[in-house]
Amino acid sequence: MDVSEWGMDLGKGSDPFLHRVVALEHPDFQLGTIEFLAKALAGAGVGTWQHDLVTGLISWDAVTSQIFGRDPVPGCGAGFSIHEDDRERVRLSLVHCIDNNKPFDVECRALRADGIVRWIHAKATAIEAGHGPKRYLAGIVTDINERKVAEARLREAEERYRLIARATMDFVYEWDFKTDNLSWNDAFDRCFGHAPHELESLRSLYDKIHPDDAEMVLGEMRSLAAGDQSQAAVEYRLRKPDGTYANVYACSHMVRDSSGQPSRLVGSLLDLSARKLTDVALQQSEALNRSIVEAVTECVMLIGLDGKFEFINGPGARAVGLVDPSALYGFDWISFWPREARETVSAAMSKALSGGTGSFSEATPTRLGVVKLWDVVISAVLTDGTLTKLVAIARDVTGRKEAQEALVRAATRDALTGLMNRATFQEVLSRRVTAIREGGSQLGLMLLDLDNFKQVNDIEGHDVGDHLLATVARRMREVAPSSAKLARLGGDEFAVLMPSITSADELDTLACRLLESIRAPLDHEGRRLDCSATIGAAVFPQHGATPQELLKSADIALYVAKNQGRGRAMVFQAEHRAEIKARQSMLNLACGAIRNERIVPYYQPKVELETRRVYGFEALLRWRDSHSGVQLPSTIAAAFDDLDLAAKISDQMVAQVILDMRNWLDQGLDFHHVAVNASAAEFRRNNFAEGVLECLDRAGVPPNRFQLEVTETVFLGRGSEYVDRALKLLSQEGVSIALDDFGTGYASLRHLKDFPVDVIKIDQSFVRDMETDPDNAAIVGAVLNLGRSLDIEVIAEGVETREQEQHLRELGCRYGQGFLYSKAVTAEVAAEIVKGRTLALSPRHRVQDE
């Protein structure tokens, strides 16, 4: 920096500093006195100097030399260098001293010879030379650098404190014990709204403290003043100008004087209002978070970085069978899971520790022994960006898994038996056929139907039927090989798929074992149930190149087995297709006959054996073919196995018979009655009897002209519960009931007792061999005796010879029916027979015509 020397232009006309050494020869200058003074001052660290205002020379002593960093030997020479920032101020002070005779007293910075800047304190007085102008300046100089530095530091500290006190949000105060003066920083006014004069004493502060806290605060101050402690802290409420209270925290420090007596109390005040609100908010937030955690159904767990449990919510604890959640705290989280799952769990935990999200699904038993399946997600918990712990959320998906499995079972399994359903079985069959086709081996397929299952279901009830189906399924599982695929296709139809067989004989062997197992006695709630089944089997690829063809072949074999007597197994044969084709042809013919109303009744007369007078007719079914003419029922026999077709045929048959009777009545013919056969199909309609009676009433035909012939099969099949009601209703209205083919069944006598039977018809098989077989003759005689005992009419069927007629008459039989008298004829011919009252044609001729 720029500096100038001490010795400068002090007024107009004066020369600049003279840079030369001159002797101090002025007679008024007493060197001894100066030296003496210099030595006296040197001991105090004060240097002396002299300035000749005329010559401009300056002299100094050793102390001054040391202060300015000059040679240590006192000498004379040029002036001292002053800091450029202080130079003008020093010059003006020297001029003022000389011109106004004022002392020179200045603090400034001097630049030492070594370049160091230090603070000095210089004083001087102007001395006159005689009575003339001022000639000399004599002065002293002191190094005050240390004091100046200390003062600067003090000022900086005070300024820093002042700025901090002013800028801080805390409230700084000082209380003087002696003066009772209380002072605050600006923050107090800004926050609490109190003017400085409102809180200038302890009393004014006391008045602002909440009444419930005032004595407590005063007591704390007294204790601090009287005790040995220098610090104290207290929390209280301070009133604001608006009357509300702020929570504050005061931290105080007691300052004592040299005698140990309290002199001042300094401290700070912290406004806790916002913090209190924050704490409340935090508590509410924590309460909310906890309530959320406790409300969720998932298991929420906190895991320390050491892998130990730190927290588990209540629902989670209850889900794993814990009453006290803290029982898990400190427990190793990985060890919580089954041993075989720990590798998976550890991998998920490692992923979470690295900042990612791990997940897994595992099952684990609860403390109650119940195994539950969990979907678990584990992730890191970060606090200010730092990993502090892990959070794991486990969701109990046992119910969902079971529901999914239930949906799969519902979609693929039969609900009652647990076997595969039809759709699933067809998929499995298709896959197996594809695999077998590529592998070159054989595949076995069996279709199984329960015999008379509808009868069990209808008579015993659906619960019994369901029990029967479930039992059959269980028995099939017990007998079938583990490799076999079992299915319930619907109703009482089952299927067995053998993935690999060596021959059809192997399939037949298994079928026989299945039938034997199913035939075993079955008890249900104290009742014995009979159960049997029929099986049709087929082999791939011999019996079908596709799954559909294989199923069709097995179904054909099943149909043939049923037609041959049920309760047996049948492996598909090529000729079975012809039987099915013939059956389908019958069904087609029957459908056409029904659709075109070609069902017609033919009438075979019943006669009194003694007089051969017509006693009535039996209506026998015929149908007209557009090409072949009138056809016997055997040409559409398959239609009678179809309940729907059989019922439609019966409806047309009954309607036509009643129409013919109405015509005969209109002609005045006394035909006595007409008997119509009713099969089991008719009785499976609960309104069969009502339909017949309505048809009779609509045609105006008396019910006693109508006779209903039934065989004992109607009492055994499906809908048998309707038979009793129908027969009794018809009987009450005047319709007579005939029991056809009597003696060929197993429960005929019971039927005579249980049902309203008016007529017994002896089956023609007994009549035909009566003359050559004594047993048949005895049976016929017994039936006739039974009829007389029960007052029931007896008619012999199939009378073809005079010898049979004679034998029957001898046994006491009154009525007969057969080719000996007439074949079945049209309604027109039957009317002519009635008109003649007796049969005019010879027996031999009539038999030949038939």
Q: What's the CATH number for 413-574? A: 3.30.70.270
* pLDDT attached to residue 300: 87
Q: Is 168-277 the same fold as 3-147?
A: yes
- How many helices (H) and strands (E) would you count in the chain? 27, 34
Q: Say whether 78 sits in a helix, a strand or coil.
A: coil
Q: pLDDT tier at 819 (50, 70, 90 boundaries)?
A: very high
Whether the predicted pLDDT of 230 surpasses 60:
yes
* pLDDT attached to residue 532: 87
Least confident of 71-80, 641-650, 817-826, 839-848: 839-848
242-258 pLDDT per residue, tens: 878 888 888 887 888 77
* pLDDT attached to residue 7: 45
Pairing assessment for the beta strands 759-762 and 793-797 based on DSSP bridges = parallel
Q: Enumerate the H helices of 700-820 as residue ranges.
A: 720-732, 748-754, 764-768, 774-790, 802-811
* pLDDT attached to residue 1: 31
Residues 6+ apart with CB under 8 A from 426: 547
* pLDDT attached to residue 846: 42
Q: Is the separation of the CB atoms in 336 and 433 below 8 Å?
A: no
Least confident of 354-368, 398-412, 499-513: 398-412
Q: What residues does 794 pair with on adjacent strands?
A: 760
Residues 6+ apart with CB under 8 A from 92: none
Q: Is the separation of the CB atoms in 134 and 98 below 8 Å?
A: yes
Looking at CATH, the fold of the domain delimited by 600-849 is given as TIM Barrel (3.20.20)
pTM: 0.46
Q: What is the mean pLDDT of residues 345-370?
A: 85
Whether the predicted pLDDT of 600 surpasses 90:
yes
* pLDDT attached to residue 30: 47
For residues 747 and 416, the model is more confident at 416
Residues 6+ apart with CB under 8 A from 552: 544
Q: What is the mean pLDDT of residues 217-241?
A: 81
Residue 800 CA: distances (Å) to CA of 187, 608, 616, 818, 819: 138, 15, 18, 6, 5
d(CA 220, CA 112): 58
| Helix, strand, coil abundance in the chain, percent, nearest 5 | 45, 30, 30
Q: pLDDT tier at 22 (50, 70, 90 boundaries)?
A: very low
Q: pLDDT tier at 848 (50, 70, 90 boundaries)?
A: very low
* pLDDT attached to residue 412: 83
* Range ranked top by mean pLDDT from 178-187, 321-330, 485-494: 485-494
Residues 6+ apart with CB under 8 A from 564: 570
Q: What's the CATH number for 168-277? A: 3.30.450.20
* Range ranked top by mean pLDDT from 153-167, 289-303, 313-327, 796-810: 796-810
Q: Is the separation of the CB atoms in 75 and 60 below 8 Å?
A: yes
**Domain boundaries of the chain, sorted by first residue:** 3-147, 168-277, 296-401, 413-574, 600-849
Question: For the domain 296-401, what is the CATH superfamily, name and number?
Answer: PAS domain (3.30.450.20)
Q: Please name the amino acid found at residue 21.
A: V
378-408 pLDDT per residue, tens: 998 888 888 889 998 888 888 777 777 777 7
Whether the predicted pLDDT of 362 surpasses 80:
yes
Q: State which H helix or E strand residue 358 sits in.
A: strand 357-365
For residues 605 and 261, the model is more confident at 605
Q: pLDDT tier at 602 (50, 70, 90 boundaries)?
A: very high
CA angle (206, 209, 215) in 5-degree steps: 70
Q: pLDDT tier at 279 (50, 70, 90 boundaries)?
A: low
Q: Say whether 655 sits in a helix, a strand or coil.
A: helix
* pLDDT attached to residue 3: 32
Whether the predicted pLDDT of 559 surpasses 70:
yes
Q: What is the mean pLDDT of residues 545-555?
A: 90
Whether the predicted pLDDT of 28 surpasses 60:
no
> What percentage of residues in the chain have a pLDDT greater than 70?
84
CB-count burial class (<10 Å; 0-12, 13-18, 19+) for 504 = middle
For residues 101 and 744, the model is more confident at 101
As given in the structure block, the two tokens for residue 763 are 């089956």
d(CA 476, CA 129): 150
Q: pLDDT tier at 367 (50, 70, 90 boundaries)?
A: low
Q: What is the mean pLDDT of residues 406-416?
A: 81
Residues 6+ apart with CB under 8 A from 581: none
For residues 392 and 227, the model is more confident at 392
Q: pLDDT tier at 24 (50, 70, 90 boundaries)?
A: very low
Whether the predicted pLDDT of 19 surpasses 70:
no
452-503 pLDDT per residue, tens: 887 777 777 788 888 889 999 999 999 999 889 999 998 889 999 988 888 8
For residues 137 and 702, the model is more confident at 702
Backbone torsion region of residue 83, taken as left when φ is above 0, otherwise alpha when ψ lies between -120 and 50, otherwise beta: beta
Tell me, letter by letter, the H, E, C secondary structure of 407-464.
Answer: HHHHHHECCCCCCECHHHHHHHHHHHHHHHHHHCCEEEEEEEEECCHHHHHHHHCHHH
For residues 736 and 202, the model is more confident at 736
Decide which of 1.10.10.10, 1.10.1840.10, 3.40.50.800, 3.30.450.20 is the CATH code for 3-147. Answer: 3.30.450.20
* pLDDT attached to residue 473: 92
Residues 6+ apart with CB under 8 A from 423: 411, 412
* pLDDT attached to residue 682: 77
Q: Is the separation of the CB atoms in 613 and 835 below 8 Å?
A: no
* Range ranked top by mean pLDDT from 242-256, 633-647, 663-677, 825-839: 663-677
Mean pLDDT of the residues in the chain: 81
Q: pLDDT tier at 26 (50, 70, 90 boundaries)?
A: very low
Q: What is the mean pLDDT of residues 665-671?
A: 94
* pLDDT attached to residue 282: 57
122-172 pLDDT per residue, tens: 999 888 766 666 678 888 999 999 988 888 887 887 677 666 655 554 567
For residues 128 and 846, the model is more confident at 128
